[in-house]
Structure 1
């Protein structure tokens, strides 16, 4: 059974649309990952993230793509990278991640509610 949360619990998680401006292999990661530079619009700006999404995506296929990220987690040190957001996705039957993305063009920084 899923734990029930309140509306206030949900609204504390800041899910925003961002556009990937740069993606490259994260050579120091323990598991295969990319370093993403994501633009979350003028209010939030650019954030870096480590993303274990190498099974379905190449760095070139990620640049320009819209993603949904959590922007109000505290920064997390992942090896030499200070990850500043969490890019969201879903595991498939094989445990590989597919990104959670908007179904159309949405301005970077738009909040999910």
Structure 2
């Protein structure tokens, strides 16, 4: 889905801090055949403070499950769990839509500790 041409309303710094964005490492990735749109089920380790969380991610165009295992990703870890078909998604893995609408993951440029918070 391409970005909207209308700029979003301004938020406060406290609004930004309310979104808990953390670095995690994909521990496993598998096909999610029950999803309405092509997706994977990811298990992401966000470090000892948060632990492993499950997510459904529509990132099948640019990534295979094998590409994802071991990769660092950025996820929102403080959304309430959401039922997506037969799985309960516990976090939102972030990314950007490319020119064709497929998702490219948001990732740190280098190694950072698991659970590090985006500030």
**TM-score calculated relative to the size of structure 1:** 0.99
1:86 maps to 92
Q: Distance in 1 between matches of 2:29 and 2:76?
A: 18
1:19 maps to 25
Compute the RMSD of aligned alpha carbons.
0.4
1:70 maps to 76
Q: Distance in 2 between matches of 1:35 and 1:66?
A: 15
2:108 maps to 102
- Give the CA deviation at 1:41: 0.1
Q: Distance in 2 between matches of 1:48 and 1:2?
A: 29
The number of residue pairs the alignment matches comes to 113
CA deviation map 1:28-75 (0-9, x unaligned):
001000000000000000000000000000000000000000000000
1:30 to 2:36 alignment: yes
State the secondary structure of the residue aligned to 1:8: helix
- Give the CA deviation at 1:16: 0.0
1:58 maps to 64
Q: Distance in 1 between matches of 2:83 and 2:64?
A: 23
2:4 maps to none
- Give the CA deviation at 1:2: 2.3
**Would you identify which runs of 4 or more consecutive aligned residues in structure 1 move more than 2 Å?**
none
